[in-house]
A and B are shown apart, each in its own frame.
Chain A
Amino acid sequence: DAGVIQSPRHEVTEMGQEVTLRCKPISGHNSLFWYRQTMMRGLELLIYFNNNVPIDDSGMPEDRFSAKMPNASFSTLKIQPSEPRDSAVYFCASSPTSGGTNEKLFFGSGTQLSVL
């Protein structure tokens, strides 16, 4: 199994530009999570999907952030326009959620985003 695949690994962009982060979850997993990690705030849950449907997006910082999951094998996180304070590592994770309890999360390698 290839694991959770994220792209790009690194992204450097200028303030005001649009940024799109991509994620391919593990095949068969029906829950997908986007996290942001910074020194100041740690690991923050931005949004999670279950069966391709956004369940909770209360962690999305503001309207500049949007996430989609058009099918079971692909998700995107878009920032438009980007700002320097968006600089962080963005992780995607998937899990084979079943029943009423949480299954473990499998994380991708992350995207290191730098907004200049």
Chain B
Amino acid sequence: GQQVMQIPQYQHVQEGEDFTTYCNSSTTLSNIQWYKQRPGGHPVFLIQLVKSGEVKKQKRLTFQFGEAKKNSSLHITATQTTDVGTYFCAPSGSARQLTFGSGTQLTVLP
């Protein structure tokens, strides 16, 4: 699988603040998926990005895929306590397998 670096590893924000996590690769990615795992839960699919420069939005979440398809980001506007969890990027290649980044653990302080 393709390896990625995900930063930051941890992020604490006050409720209402914005949050961004980044996923970086040294090689060009075919596509990338994002998952969220709540504490004690299992990863849940959020979105898949395929095209260079692609931007997708889901309510307060904005996902971007870099022009060179080597990086991706997830931005949350005005965080809420329900956003707490670990966010993983997962680059997927032609081998039909997914490897996961190390994740960013988000804590939202009320």
Same complex origin of A and B:
yes
Residues of chain A having any CB pair with chain B under 8 Å: 31, 33, 35, 42-43, 45, 48, 50, 55-56, 91, 93, 97, 100-102, 104-110
- Chain B residues contacting A43 (CB-CB under 8 Å) are 43, 88, 100, 103
B68 interface contact, C-beta 8 A? no
Q: Which residue of B lies closest to A92 (CB)?
A: B42
Complex: how many Å from CA A56 to CA B97?
9
7 intermolecular pairs with C-beta atoms under 8 Å apart: A43-B43, A45-B100, A50-B96, A93-B43, A107-B43, A107-B44, A109-B41
Main secondary structure of the interface of A (DSSP, over half): strand
Is A91 a contact of B43 with CB atoms below 8 Å? yes
Complex: how many Å from CA A43 to CA B100?
6
Q: Which residue of B lies closest to A107 (CB)?
A: B42
Complex: how many Å from CA A110 to CA B35?
16
Q: Which 6 residue pairs spanning A and B have beta carbons closest together?
A: A102-B92, A104-B45, A43-B100, A107-B42, A42-B102, A107-B43
Q: Beyond A91-B43, A106-B45, is A55–B33 a contact (Cβ under 8 Å)?
A: no
- Chain A residues contacting B42 (CB-CB under 8 Å) are 91, 107-110
B20 interface contact, C-beta 8 A? no
Is B33 a contact of A102 with CB atoms below 8 Å? yes
Interface residues of B in 54-97 (CB under 8 A from A): 88, 90, 92, 94-97
B52 interface contact, C-beta 8 A? no
Distance of A94 from chain B, by nearest CB (Å): 12
Complex: how many Å from CA A93 to CA B100?
13
Q: Beyond A42-B102, A45-B1, is A105–B43 a contact (Cβ under 8 Å)?
A: yes
Complex: how many Å from CA A12 to CA B50?
41
Complex: how many Å from CA A24 to CA B73?
33
Complex: how many Å from CA A94 to CA B43?
12
- Chain A residues contacting B97 (CB-CB under 8 Å) are 33, 45, 48, 55-56, 102
Most buried by B among A42, A48, A91: A42
Q: Which residue of B lies closest to A43 (CB)?
A: B100
